[in-house]
Amino acid sequence: MTGLPDSPSYEDDETLAKLQQALDEATGVDLRAALEGAIEDRKAEIRRDARTTQPAD
């Protein structure tokens, strides 16, 4: 790919880890859907942050 940063690592993000743990423990359908949405939002935020911290060539 040209000019695109590598995919950010989600492994070290504490917020994302907590959301994933809550999803793993969730039993209600509505709660699971809300957590899945929050996880996707957090991943998008991490990707945005990775793009803004990439040095310009």
Using alpha carbons, select from 2, 42, 3, 1 the residue that is nearest to residue 20.
Answer: 42
| C-beta separation of 10 from 16 below 8 A | yes
* pTM given for the model: 0.72
* Within a domain: 2: no
Q: Is the pLDDT of residue 36 over 90?
A: yes
In the chain, the number of structural domains is 1
C-alpha pair distances (Å), 27 with each of 24, 32, 40, 44, 47: 8, 7, 19, 25, 29
| Structural domain range at position 29 | 14-51
For residue 32, name the pLDDT band (cuts at 50, 70, 90).
very high
* Within a domain: 23: yes
Angle between helices 29-53 and 14-25 in degrees, nearest 10: 160
| CA trace torsion 47, 52, 54, 55 (10° rounding) | 170
